[in-house]
C-alpha cells in the first residue's frame, strides 16, 4: 500500500496579477479628468461654431459654391438648401453647449458626431485635420461616461452621479491623441522635411517672430524647427505616459502648439491640443488644482459592466482602424504629397507647399470643336486653389463639366485638364496627363495612372502657351 502524501493547501492566487484585461480596463479612476475634457471639448466646439458665423464661412464654404468636391463613397452628401446650413450650425452650437453642461449627454454627443461629420463630408476643399479630429472625438464621447459628475444630467438624476469612471474611458481618449501625435511625426520622416522644406519658405516671411525673427533665413534655425518638431511628435506620447516626464512633456506641447498658432494659425487645433494634452496628467489632477477632496468611492474594486468582451472588441477594432488608415498611402506609388492618394485621414499636417494653375478644355468629337472652360462658373476662388493641387478633385470637376455640357446638348464630350504644379519649391511640371480624357476616367480607390509622377516630364505636341492657337492638338 502506497504511503499517503500530506495534503498541502494551495496558496490563494494573487488577484492583482491574475486580473484579466477586461477587469483591468474596468478598474475605477477619478472622474474629474473626464469631466474636464467634456467641458473643454464642448467649449472648443462652441467657439468653432461661433467662428463660422462671425467670419461668414457658412455661406462662403457651403452655400455659395455650386460644386462640392465630395469624398469617395459619399457623393450623396449635399448641403441643406436655403438657410439650412445656417440652421445646421446653430443646432451644432446648441449641442456643443449641451455637451459642455452635460445635459442629455449621450444624445448630444451622438448628434454632434453626426452633425460635425456631415459638415466635414460636404467638401474636400474644406478638409482640415482638426475637423477630422473633432469628428473622431465626438464619436468617442458617445461612449465615454464624462457626465457622471458636474453635469446637469447628474443633477437631474442623482443615481447617475459617480465619482469614478472605468479606466478604459480615459485611455481611449489618450490613445486617440497619441495616434495623432505619432503619425504626425511619422509623416515628417520624408526627404523634403528633412532638408527643411517647406518650412524654409514659410519661416522666411516671419521676420517679426519674437526673439528668432532675425534668424529666420538661417539654415540652422530651419533645421532646428524641422527636426525639433519631428522628434517632438514622435516622442511626446511616451514622455506623457511616464510620470517623471509628463510635466516637462506638457510644457513642450504648450510651446510647440503656441509656435504653430503663431506661425500658421491653424484655427482651433493648437488650443484644443494644448488643453487635451492635459488628460495625460493623473486622473485626480483637476481636484487637486481646485483644492477639492479626493473621491470617496472605492478605487480598488472593478466597476461592473455589461458585455465587457463586446466593449473590448469594439475598442480593439476602433484603435486598429485608427492605426491602419494613416498607413494606406504606402499602398500607392509615388510621393503622397504630390499624388494626394492617401494623404487625407493620415495626420499629414503642414508638410507641403503646393502651387498650381489649372485650365480645363472641352472637346466635342462630333465636330472637333475645342474651347476653354470658364472655371468661375463652377468653383469659387478658394475651391479652385484647392482643386488645382488635388488630382481627385480635378477628376471630379472634369465629370461635372462633361455632364453640364451634355445637358446643354453637346453629346459625348471629352475634358482635358492642363495643370502645372510645383511641390516644395521644385520646378513646375504637369500634375495630370493633359492628353487623357478625364471625363472617361472613373473615380476609384486604385492608383490613378493619369497622374504624372513627380520628377517625370511628358511632352505635348504643342507648348501650353499655344493651346488657344492649336486646339486641334487634343485629338
Report pLDDT digits (tens) over 429-449: 999 999 999 999 999 999 999
Sequence-distant (≥ 6) Cβ neighbours of residue 266 within 8 angstroms: 130, 260
Tell me phi and psi for residue 457, to 5 degrees.
-135, 140
Please give the pLDDT value at position 363. 94
DSSP class of 336: H
Query: 290-299 contacts: CB < 8 A, separation 24 or more?
Result: 292/32, 294/30, 295/30, 295/31, 295/32, 295/163, 295/164, 296/163, 297/28, 297/162, 297/163, 297/164, 298/28, 299/27, 299/28, 299/29, 299/30, 299/164
Grid coordinates given for 259: 509656435
Q: What is the pLDDT of residues 353-398, one digit of tens each?
A: 999 999 999 999 888 889 999 999 999 999 999 999 999 999 999 9
Of residues 19, 20, 30, 22, the one with CA closest to residue 314: 22
**Buried residues in 404-431 as b, exposed as e (16+ CB within 10 A):** bbeeeebeebbbbbbbbbbbbeeeebbb
pLDDT at 419 over 80: yes
pLDDT at 461 over 60: no
pTM of the full structure = 0.89
DSSP SS3 for 359: strand
Please give the pLDDT value at position 2. 37
Residue 256: half-sphere exposure toward Cβ, Cα within 13 Å: 26
pLDDT at 469 over 60: no
H or E stretch covering 165:
strand 164-166
Sequence-distant (≥ 6) Cβ neighbours of residue 437 within 8 angstroms: 363, 414, 415, 416
Q: What is the pLDDT of residues 26-46, one digit of tens each?
A: 889 999 999 999 999 999 999
Sequence-distant (≥ 6) Cβ neighbours of residue 380 within 8 angstroms: 60, 64, 65
Please, are residues 70 and 123 in contact by the beta-carbon 8 Å criterion? yes
In whole angstroms, give the CA distance from residue 451 to residue 385. 18
In whole angstroms, give the CA distance from residue 363 to residue 373. 10
Q: Using 50, 70 and 90 to split pLDDT, how confident is the model at 216?
A: confident
DSSP class of 96: H
DSSP class of 160: G
Q: Using 50, 70 and 90 to split pLDDT, how confident is the model at 411?
A: confident
pLDDT at 288 over 80: yes
Q: What are the Cα distances from residue 273, in Å, to 40, 181, 252, 352? A: 10, 10, 12, 22
First to last CA, the chain: 104
Of residues 29, 27, 23, 28, the one with CA closest to residue 283: 29
Of residues 212 and 422, which shows the higher confidence score? 422
H or E stretch covering 177:
helix 167-187
Please give the pLDDT value at position 410. 85
Of residues 156 and 10, which shows the higher confidence score? 156
pLDDT at 161 over 80: yes
pLDDT at 306 over 80: no
Please give the pLDDT value at position 193. 96
Amino acid at each position: 500500500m502506497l504511503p499517503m502524501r500530506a495534503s498541502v493547501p494551495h496558496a490563494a492566487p494573487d488577484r492583482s496579477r491574475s486580473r484579466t484585461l477586461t477587469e483591468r480596463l474596468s478598474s475605477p479612476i477619478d472622474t474629474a479628468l473626464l469631466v474636464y475634457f467634456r467641458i473643454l471639448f464642448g467649449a472648443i466646439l462652441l467657439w468653432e461654431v461661433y467662428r463660422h458665423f462671425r467670419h461668414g464661412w457658412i455661406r462662403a464654404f457651403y452655400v455659395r459654391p455650386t460644386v462640392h468636391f465630395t469624398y469617395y463613397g459619399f457623393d450623396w452628401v449635399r448641403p441643406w438648401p436655403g438657410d439650412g446650413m445656417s440652421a445646421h450650425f446653430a443646432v451644432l452650437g446648441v449641442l456643443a453647449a449641451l455637451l459642455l453642461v452635460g445635459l442629455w449627454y449621450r444624445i448630444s454627443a451622438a448628434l454632434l458626431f453626426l452633425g460635425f461629420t456631415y459638415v466635414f463630408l460636404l467638401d474636400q476643399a474644406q478638409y482640415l485635420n482638426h475637423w477630422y479630429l473633432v469628428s473622431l472625438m465626438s464619436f468617442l464621447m458617445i461612449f465615454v461616461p464624462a457626465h457622471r459628475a458636474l453635469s446637469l444630467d447628474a443633477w437631474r438624476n442623482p443615481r447617475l452621479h459617480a465619482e469614478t469612471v472605468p479606466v478604459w474611458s480615459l485611455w481611449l481618449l489618450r490613445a486617440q491623441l497619441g495616434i495623432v501625435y505619432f503619425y504626425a511625426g511619422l509623416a515628417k520622416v520624408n526627404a523634403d522635411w528633412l532638408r527643411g522644406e517647406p518650412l524654409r519658405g514659410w519661416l522666411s516671411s516671419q521676420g517679426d517672430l519674437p526673439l528668432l525673427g532675425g534668424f529666420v533665413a538661417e539654415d540652422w534655425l530651419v533645421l532646428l524647427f524641422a527636426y525639433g518638431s519631428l522628434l517632438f511628435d514622435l516622442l511626446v506620447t511616451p514622455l506623457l505616459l511616464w510620470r517623471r516626464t509628463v510635466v516637462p512633456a506638457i510644457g513642450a506641447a504648450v510651446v510647440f502648439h503656441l509656435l504653430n498658432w503663431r506661425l500658421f494659425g491653424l484655427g482651433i487645433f493648437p488650443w484644443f491640443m494644448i488643453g487635451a494634452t492635459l488628460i495625460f496628467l493623473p486622473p485626480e489632477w483637476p481636484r487637486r488644482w481646485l483644492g477639492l477632496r479626493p473621491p470617496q468611492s472605492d478605487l480598488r474594486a472593478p466597476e461592473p459592466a455589461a458585455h465587457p468582451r463586446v466593449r473590448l472588441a469594439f475598442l480593439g477594432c476602433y484603435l486598429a482602424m485608427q492605426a491602419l488608415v494613416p498607413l494606406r498611402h504606402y499602398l500607392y506609388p509615388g510621393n503622397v504629397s504630390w499624388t494626394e492618394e492617401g494623404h487625407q485621414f493620415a495626420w499629414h499636417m503642414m508638410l507641403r507647399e503646393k502651387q498650381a494653375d489649372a485650365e480645363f478644355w472641352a472637346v466635342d468629337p462630333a465636330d472637333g470643336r475645342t474651347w476653354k472652360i470658364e472655371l468661375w462658373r463652377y468653383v469659387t476662388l478658394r475651391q479652385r486653389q484647392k482643386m488645382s493641387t488635388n488630382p481627385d478633385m480635378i477628376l471630379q470637376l472634369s465629370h461635372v463639366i462633361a455632364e453640364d455640357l451634355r445637358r446643354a446638348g453637346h453629346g459625348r464630350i471629352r475634358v482635358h485638364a492642363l495643370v502645372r504644379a510645383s511641390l516644395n519649391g521644385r520646378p513646375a511640371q504637369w500634375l495630370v496627363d493633359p492628353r487623357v480624357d478625364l471625363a472617361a476616367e472613373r473615380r476609384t480607390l486604385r492608383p490613378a495612372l493619369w497622374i504624372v509622377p513627380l520628377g517625370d516630364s511628358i511632352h505635348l505636341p504643342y507648348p501650353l502657351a499655344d493651346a488657344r492657337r492649336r486646339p486641334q492638338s487634343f485629338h
